[in-house]
Amino acid sequence: MSWEPFENWPDGPDAEGAGAFRRSSEPILAQRRGLSPGERLRIFWRARPDLPAPRMATRVVLCQNHLYVERRDGSRERVSRDRLRGRRVDSGVGVYGVVEGEDLFLLERRGCPVEAALAEQIGTTRPVRVRRGFVASAAFALVASCTAVGLLWRFPYDRAFEEIARGQWNSETALGFYGSVGAILFALAAILWFPSTLRLDQTGAERRRGFFPWLVFRRPPEDFEAVLIVSHIGYRPRSSMLTTRAFTVELVLRRSGRFGTLLPVSDLQLHFASNQKPGARNVSAAFAAPIARALSVPVRELERRTAQSRGA
């Protein structure tokens, strides 16, 4: 693990401790102390399972080789500065990636010298965002909602309950009511689960589910093996003719697992380009390059061949 506990703050004019011999010998380059009442209120308001309030940093001391942190839960840990990797801002909280360790959560503060020094060290990279399923989910939700309203108009729930109470579980009214409930559940799933927003940067991959994103799933860069540019090639049996039909860009996980999905996955398809469009190969390569740089993984190429029917 990258984080390690410490007892005494590094040496400096504002350091804590009983004496110089009990302090670290590292000189302080920048530091920030405590949280104001307004900042505590911001943390309370914006805390989420992926931004836990107890793990927010309250005091931070930046030295030449290490970053010393005290969190709201009272824990004190330090991390080597060369283990810091990337930064993203989420709801006013700066999230700093740490190699093989917990991310650092630092509430944004105007004019903070620690944030300025870390920004100079880490730099900024533009994240890659991939949005999937929003248009289709909106259409499905609209159709399912209209179907539910029509069924409830045709088969009112009070009549359905009366027939169910009399033991007529499979009557027309009861079946119509079941259908309306199913349509409502499908509409909710289309709004709350099907749409997906994937954000890729130096801190890793973040997947948010829902038309109004509310479920958050994260994976660190170490979980990914490579970015694949896959050439989908079609061929006809008993023929040597090959035809490239499309290119896809896929992100490969080191180990199969769930990542905002119901079932385990081994890769995520991020991009599709039909070969009928000019420059499809170059477009796919340009899409894959910044993702590979952000996650520090290689770009590989792969061919997948599928048999075509005679009419294809």
Q: For residue range 74-132, what is the model confidence (pLDDT) as tens digits?
A: 999 999 999 999 999 988 999 999 998 999 999 999 999 999 999 999 987 789 999 99
pLDDT value at residue 213: 87
Strands (DSSP E) along 99-168, which ranges? 104-107, 128-132
Please state, in angstroms and as integers, the Cα–Cα distance from residue 310 to each residue in 48, 238, 307, following that order: 55, 11, 10
Cβ atoms of 251 and 179 within 8 Å: the answer is no
Neighbours of 139 (CB within 10 A): 11
Six-digit token string for 126: 């533009």
> Which amino acid, residue 219?
R
Q: For residue range 230-252, what is the model confidence (pLDDT) as tens digits?
A: 998 887 776 666 677 899 999 99
The C-alpha atoms of residue 56 and residue 220 are separated, in whole angstroms, by: 19
Six-digit token string for 309: 């029917």
Closest among 58, 75, 77 to 4, alpha carbons compared? 77
Q: What does the domain layout of the chain look like in residue ranges?
A: 4-124, 134-192, 215-307
Q: For residue range 244-291, what is the model confidence (pLDDT) as tens digits?
A: 789 999 999 999 999 999 999 999 999 999 888 888 999 999 999 999
Q: For residue range 8-42, what is the model confidence (pLDDT) as tens digits?
A: 898 654 455 434 444 456 889 999 999 999 999 99
From the CA atom positions of the chain, what is the Rg in Å? 27
Q: Does residue 53 surpass a pLDDT of 80?
A: yes
